[in-house]
Amino acid sequence: MPHSSTPESAAAVEPEPIVYLNGEYLAQSQARVSVLDRGFLFGDGVYEVIPVYGGKPLRLNEHLNRLQRSMGRVSMSDPLSREDWKAVFQDLLDRNPGADRSIYLQVTRGAAPLRDLSIDDDIQPTVFIMVNAIKLIDYAKIEAGIEAITVEDFRWKACDIKSVSLIANVMVRLLANQSSAVDAIMVRDGLVTEATASNVFVVHKGVIATPPNSEHLLPGITRDLVIELAQSNGFELIERDIQASELVTADEIWLTSSTREIAPVVKLDQRPVGGGVAGDSWKKMITLYKEYKQALRNG
Ligand code: PDD
């Protein structure tokens, strides 16, 4: 067979993503950041991940509120107005057409002339945004559940900041992957905090619980949505401290995030959770979540 480019193979080549970097729209491979950028040198930056369904960002204002909160916590000022953020997102979504997508944005403190922990007030923040495809979520696959382990939470006491300094999360995720689990639920002083990139819910006899927001966990947007959906649909849900020992007796454990939605944990530390399959409360909650997404698409 001659080695030629057929129309089929040409059509299979994905167009290169267009990203936003400091006011410019560029092909991803052309985007460059200085080696002196404090995001690169110190992990000195914050980020957000915003899912987009049918062209509509889910809980956009809540994500932008959290971004502002993260920036406030690290004494960075917001480089764009809310209207500008929204306009850039729309531009970028238009330039990267597709079905379900997620917006990743990160703001670092920028590049100073010298590597120095002290902050040079004259530097400009680096603003980077990209759009990624969300693979069509296969709910049958989600229902099959995931395996997790528990790990001591050795992170700092500022986990409420959505910081790009994620080395501890990387280390914990590695521990999980090395024991053939997909994630780890972290425990600090005997209490459940969160997973490496998700919040945690437990269900006991139909009552749902999740740890209260604190400096030990990220105030998840999906977490808030699940709480709202539970409350407006007659579930009993309590925000309270969860002892690590309750993970062993839980009927259900869920991990929630913008990209994972609501994932049932069916095996924890090699033991089945509840009946070892996704539970009834999860089935009801995922139905409500899907309906919420559909309403967003239709709205
Ligand atoms: N992570 N906790 C941590 C440590 C997280 O990194 C995330 C999200 C969450 C859930 O937050 P939300 O529901 O707002 O997505 C909780 C994103 C998805 C990520 O890092 O890719």
Tens digit of each residue's pLDDT (9 = 90 or more) over 235-271: 999 999 999 999 999 999 999 999 999 999 999 999 9
Query: Which of 228, 190, 191 lies closest to 208 in space, CA to CA?
Result: 228
In this prediction, residue 217 carries a pLDDT of 98
Ligand 1, atom 20: nearest CA belongs to which residue? 197
Nearest residue CA, atom 9 of ligand 1? 198
Cross-strand pairs, 210:
239
Element (H, E) at 8: helix 7-12
The residues annotated as belonging to the active site are: 162
Residue to probe by mutation, ligand 1, list 67, 69, 218, 227, most atoms within 8 Å of CB: 218
Q: How far apart are CA 212 and CA 215, in angstroms?
A: 10
Give the distance (Å) from ligand 1 centre to CA of residue 191.
19
223 touches ligand 1 (CB under 6 Å): yes
Tell me the domains of the chain and their CATH numbers: 18-133 (3.30.470.10), 139-298 (3.20.10.10)
* Residue 296 CB less than 6 A away from ligand 1: no
CA distance 34 to 199: 33
Q: Is the C-beta atom of 194 inside 6 A of ligand 1?
A: yes
Q: Output the CA 257–ligand 1 centroid distance in Å.
A: 5
Is the C-beta atom of 199 inside 6 A of ligand 1? yes
pLDDT tens-digit readout, 133-144:
988 788 999 999
CA 34 – ligand 1 centroid, Å = 27
* Any atom of ligand 1 within 6 Å of the Cβ of 261: no
**Parts of the chain with a pLDDT under 50:** 1-10
Inter-residue contact 57 to 50 (CB < 8 Å): yes
Which two structure tokens, joined as six digits, stand for 241?
């401290």
Give the closest residue (by CA) to ligand 1 atom 8.
197
56 is written with which tokens? 């509509």
**How much distance in Å is there from the Cα of 181 to the middle of ligand 1?**
18
Q: pLDDT at position 4, please?
A: 42
Which of 167, 202, 173 is CA-nearest to residue 42? 167
CA of 2 to the centre of ligand 1 (A): 48
Q: Give the chain's length.
A: 299
Question: How far, in Å, are 111, 112, 192 from residue 42 at the CA level?
Answer: 11, 12, 28
Contacts of 153 (CB under 8 A, 6+ apart): 172, 186, 187, 188, 193, 216
Classified as helix, coil or strand, 184 is strand
User: How confident is the model at residue 127, as a pLDDT?
Assistant: 98
